[in-house]
Amino acid sequence: MNGILGMTELALDTDLTAEQLGYLRTIKSSADALLVIINDILDFSKIEAGQLHFEEIDFPVIDVVADAMKALAVHAEEKGLEMLFAVDPRLPVRVRGDPLRLRQVITNLVGNAIKFTEQGEVEARVRLDHQDDAGVTLQFQVRDTGIGIAPEKHRQIFEAFSQGDASTTRRFGGTGLGLTICNRLVALMHGQLSVESAVGQGSIFQFTARFMASVEAGTAESVDTRACVGKRVLVVDDSRAQARQAGVMLQALGLRPQIAFTGPDALRQFDLAQAEAVGFDLVLIDSIMPGMDGFELATQLIAKGFKASRIILLTTILNQKIDNLKCERLGVAIRISKPCFPGDLAEALHAQQNDGNVDLAPFEVDRFLADATGGGQRKLRILVAEDNAVNQTLVRKLLEKVGHHVVLANNGQEAVDRFSEDHFDLILMDVQMPVMSGIEASQAIRAREQRRSYVLSGGWHSTPIIALTAHAMAGDREACLAAGMDDHLSKPLRSADLYAAIERVLAGPEVAPEPVAGASSSKSAGSHMTDIEAALASHDRDKLMTAAHDLRDRLGSPEALLAVDAAIRVELAARRGDFAAAGRDARELRQEIERIGMLMPPTAR
């Protein structure tokens, strides 16, 4: 799959006839579909073997559900479906659990709802089911107006490799594993998945999931919409469900919505409010409506003297370019791409308060993308350790395409030999190789770096190593990091993922070398140790990872190997969000750097 997808992606970036382009796009779409099947089977096998492990990190529930739905919005629009989202205002801002697995379940259920619905709507709801000091139980619901499922088939659809009937498989495709995987994932989240459905009446899939209370104090950052409190808003949408949803979100923000379901009805309500001297402060309009659409309604409102800056348009993703042009011609600066979520609406209201201006981070050119287009900094000398000829060719082409020089090694031992003989800016290391594995080769390279760097400058200067692996089991990333690798990529490789990984490992600040012994080295180690302990005290996961990684790179003497190992364990525990383990490893790390004289023990201060 790595070779098929990678080579096809390279071929699509060359000069092609229309016929060739069509063939290659078919190959790529077929390979993507096959990859989905492979991933389903891998997930199912991991669950069956009890090898699927869950992360425990803090995350915002609403954002996870919203992101999953936005990723599927284009497919829904292509079918002419409305996507709706309703959220319980009592939901906690953040919970602790595995956002990736939650998103996997939401994506599967919403994706199925879109697949099996030809007209109407797909709605996701999240509500608080139960809350106590230890955590919360949330209920998630995905409703559609699709083909429905016969009651006698309800149990069957949760069985492996099974769908409602054979005609469903022929018409819609799929492995029949999606709902089985969802059912198992929900059970691992201490919840239950169920369905309510009848043929021709749509379906409702709902599940509960248990999450721990967030360890991060405070509330999430929110957009300031206080200036909008009490304002009257005319909501215009032919979809009654979407109009009601917009009204609920506006009420939650403190505004006073009034609903119209057609353009002419909206004009009547607008004229009546003007006549009674209680006009509307804002108008929220869906751009696509039968008869008088949103743009025509906005044109007539502006002709009546209503300011374009007080109109917010709900536009579509598929017609974004045309819709934006229409908005510009009308002078309407604020628009939201459907589906609309609470955060989107709050940001739009905030922008409207600021006359259409939104505070954005300053634009910065991505350094790696600048390099890739020939306008950036130095080209890299990269060692690629890979035993498969197809994968060698793919990685070499992807790297040479952006101007880097590539040296190939056919196994781990060759990689170690090449490293000993030459200088490289970066190493891409396959994990599974003959003679010597990528894990063993990385450990050997780190050991040689320590000896080489210590002799030359008294500091450990490590060459970034990125693992390339087909492994999908939990713990693979940790094993690679523990061996001294800096990042991890799963096959099949995508060019964007490869370039992003290279950007990540090269993004760290360059630090001048310091001697291992002496005052400056002690001060450096002490400073990093202080940062580690401060990050532990504040439960700051990102700062803890950074401080442990920086200290690991400063520990350059041969006798510091145990300290390096402890620093790696602190970094890995921080990545998992396991502050208890990180604290134990940090205490061992302090003892080790005190033992080798890089830090004065507390009693000597």
Task: Tell me the DSSP string of 253-264.
Answer: TT-EEEEESSHH
Q: Strands (DSSP E) along 279-339, which ranges?
A: 282-286, 311-315, 334-337
| pLDDT band with cut points at 50, 70 and 90 for residue 605 | very low
Residue 59 has phi, psi (to 5 degrees) of -155, 155
Closest Cα partner for 228 from 137, 334, 141, 143? Answer: 334
Q: How far is CA 525 from the centre of its chain?
A: 34
The 10s digit of each residue's pLDDT in 54-96 is 888 888 999 889 888 887 887 888 888 889 988 888 888 889 9
Q: Which residue has the tokens 């498969």?
A: 388
Q: Is pLDDT of 602 > 50?
A: no
Angle, helices 240-252 vs 342-353, to 10°: value is 60
Angle at 9 between CA 7 and CA 13, to 5 degrees: 110
Q: Phi/psi at 420 (nearest 5 deg)?
A: -70, -30
**Please, which residues have CB within 8 angstroms of residue 14's CB and are 6 or more apart in sequence?**
none
Terminal CA-to-CA distance of the chain, rounded, Å?
59
List the Cα angle 292/294/298 in 5-degree steps.
Answer: 100
DSSP characters over 375-400: SSSPPPEEEEE---HHHHHHHHHHHH
Nearest to 284 by CA among 222, 346, 225, 328: 346
Residue 136 burial by CB count (10 A; 0-12/13-18/19+): exposed, middle or buried? buried
| Identity of residue 469 | T
| Sign (positive or negative) of CA dihedral 514, 537, 57, 593 | positive
Residues near 392 by beta carbon (within 8 Å), at least 6 away in sequence? 384, 386, 408
Instruction: Compute the Cα dihedral for 222, 226, 228, 230 and give only its sign.
Output: positive
Token pair 């922008």 is found at 351
Does position 382 have pLDDT exceeding 80, yes or no? Answer: yes
Token pair of 149, please?
């499922």
- Cβ–Cβ under 8 Å, residues 280 and 234: yes
Pairing outcome for strands 334-337 and 487-490: unpaired
Q: Tell me what pLDDT residue 79 has.
A: 87
φ, ψ of residue 209 in degrees (nearest 5): -150, 140
Pairing of strands 95-97, 135-144: unpaired
Asked whether the predicted pLDDT for residue 374 surpasses 50, the reply is no
| Residue 112, C-beta contacts closer than 8 angstroms, at least 6 positions apart | 178, 179, 205
Q: What distance in Å separates the CA atoms of residue 396 and residue 413, rounded to the nearest whole number? A: 19
Q: Are 106 and 85 in contact (CB under 8 A)?
A: no
Q: What is the pLDDT of residue 515?
A: 37
Q: pLDDT at residue 209 above 90?
A: yes
Q: Which two tokens stand for residue 281?
A: 């402060």
pTM above 0.85, yes or no: no
- What does the block give as tokens for 70? 């936005």
pLDDT tens for 162-191 read: 555 544 444 444 556 778 888 989 998 999
- Could you tell me if 346 and 222 are in contact, meaning their C-beta atoms sit under 8 angstroms apart? yes
394/6 Cα distance (integer angstroms): 6
Q: What is the pLDDT of residue 601?
A: 47
Amino acid at 417: D
Phi and psi of 537, rounded to 5°? -65, -35
The pLDDT, as a whole number, for residue 363 is: 36
SS3 374: coil
DSSP 340: P
- Give the model's pLDDT for residue 557: 53
Q: Amino acid identity, residue 404? A: H
Highest mean pLDDT among 201-205, 225-229, 572-576 belongs to: 201-205
Element (H, E) at 112: helix 99-115
Crossing angle of helices 61-71 and 99-115, in 10° steps, is 40
**pLDDT attached to residue 364:** 39
pLDDT at 555: 67
- pLDDT (mean) for 12-26: 74
* Residue 236 tokens, joined: 């215009």
pLDDT digits (tens, 9 = 90+) for 477-495: 667 777 778 888 887 788 8
Handedness of CA 485, 489, 493, 494 (dihedral sign): negative
Work out the burial of residue 152: count CB atoms within 10 Å of its CB; fewer than 13 is exposed, 13-18 middle, 19 or more buried: exposed
The pLDDT assigned to 427 comes to 95
From the CB of residue 88, how many other CB atoms can be counted at a distance below 10 Å? 13
pLDDT score of 273: 93
For the stretch 320-358, pLDDT in tens is: 778 888 888 899 988 888 888 888 888 889 888 876 554
Q: How far apart are CA 89 and CA 82, in angstroms?
A: 22
What count of Cα atoms within 13 Å lies in the side-chain half-sphere of residue 263? 16
Contact indicator for 582, 544 with CB cutoff of 8 Å: yes
**Quick one: pLDDT at residue 54?**
81
pLDDT > 70? residue 222: no
If you search the block for the tokens 């819709």, which residue do you land on?
323
Report the C-alpha gap between 230 and 138 in whole angstroms: 31
